[in-house]
């Protein structure tokens, strides 16, 4: 982890749970992470006062009385590009996590984690890293994989013509080229032409592989 000056960390917490925010502040001061921590209970309070400060890091809740914390990430980064943002929330939600990171947050921590973990996470982020609390890491990976597969499926589905999808559906039933020709009422040679296009798009010359991948991607069902 790259070194950083522990004596000059400027921290803010945007959090409407005053008791929780105060406990985080007490811990940070007690362990010598900083001399003070600014707390804002609403987005409005931060915008009116905190937005004029240059914070090294902001711990940002998601559900605030006057809006969603994720929605102000862009504005914070626009005003102060060097400010790191870590979401500190009760929401163990993959989509919120993805959106927060996409907007520019450097971490996503659920409040069930210990204060020591939050403290260490600040060090990780200020050292150039990123953090996702353990309870969210696997869920986020699964979410990413699912959405990546969905994206691939959508792209491939758009590239396939209606006729090609019909042929793949019949392939999944185990029919021969002649039977495909009869089922779709098209010429036998044209079936071969369609199959050639399908093989090229899937990057294979195997019927079984085409069917396997089409089923996996949800293009056809068996």
- Annotation: CATH topology of 160-216: Arc Repressor Mutant, subunit A (1.10.10)
Confidence (pLDDT) at 120 = 92
Higher per-residue pLDDT: 102 or 146: 102
Please state the three-class secondary structure of 82-123 as a single string.
CCEEEEEECCCCHHHHHHHHHHCCCEEEECCCCHHHHHHHHH
State the average pLDDT over residues 144-172: 73
Task: Measure the CA–CA gap between 98 and 96, rounded to whole angstroms.
Answer: 5
Q: Please give the model's pTM, rounded to 2 decimal places.
A: 0.64
Q: Confidence class of residue 186 from pLDDT cuts 50, 70 and 90?
A: very high
pLDDT at 144 exceeding the cut of 70: no
Residues in the chain: 222
pLDDT at 92 exceeding the cut of 80: no
Tell which CATH classification among 3.40.50.2300, 1.20.1250.20, 3.20.20.140, 3.40.50.300 matches the domain 6-140.
3.40.50.2300
Q: What angle do CA 120, 131, 95 make, to 5 degrees?
A: 140
State the average pLDDT over residues 14-36: 94
Q: What is the mean pLDDT of the chain?
A: 85
């Amino acid at each position: 982890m790259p070194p950083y000056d522990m004596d000059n960390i400027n921290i803010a917490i945007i959090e409407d749970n005053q008791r929780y925010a105060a406990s985080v502040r007490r811990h940070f001061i007690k362990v010598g992470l900083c001399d003070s921590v600014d707390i804002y209970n609403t987005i409005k309070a931060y915008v009116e006062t905190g937005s004029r400060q240059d914070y090294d890091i902001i711990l940002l809740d998601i559900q605030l009385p006057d809006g969603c914390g994720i929605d102000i990430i862009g504005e914070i980064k626009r005003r102060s590009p060097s400010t790191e943002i870590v979401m500190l929330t009760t929401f163990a939600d993959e989509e919120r996590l993805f959106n927060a990171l996409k907007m520019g947050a450097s971490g996503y921590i659920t409040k069930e984690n210990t204060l020591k973990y939050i403290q260490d996470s600040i060090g990780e982020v200020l050292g150039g890293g990123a953090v996702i609390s353990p309870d969210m890491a696997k869920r986020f990976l699964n979410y990413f994989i699912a959405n990546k597969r969905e994206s691939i499926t959508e792209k491939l589905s758009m590239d396939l013509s209606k006729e090609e999808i019909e042929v793949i559906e019949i392939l999944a039933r185990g029919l021969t080229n002649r039977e495909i020709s009869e089922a779709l009422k098209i010429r036998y040679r044209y079936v071969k032409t369609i199959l050639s296009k399908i093989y090229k798009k899937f990057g294979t010359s195997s019927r079984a592989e085409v069917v396997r991948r089409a089923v996996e991607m949800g293009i056809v069902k068996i």
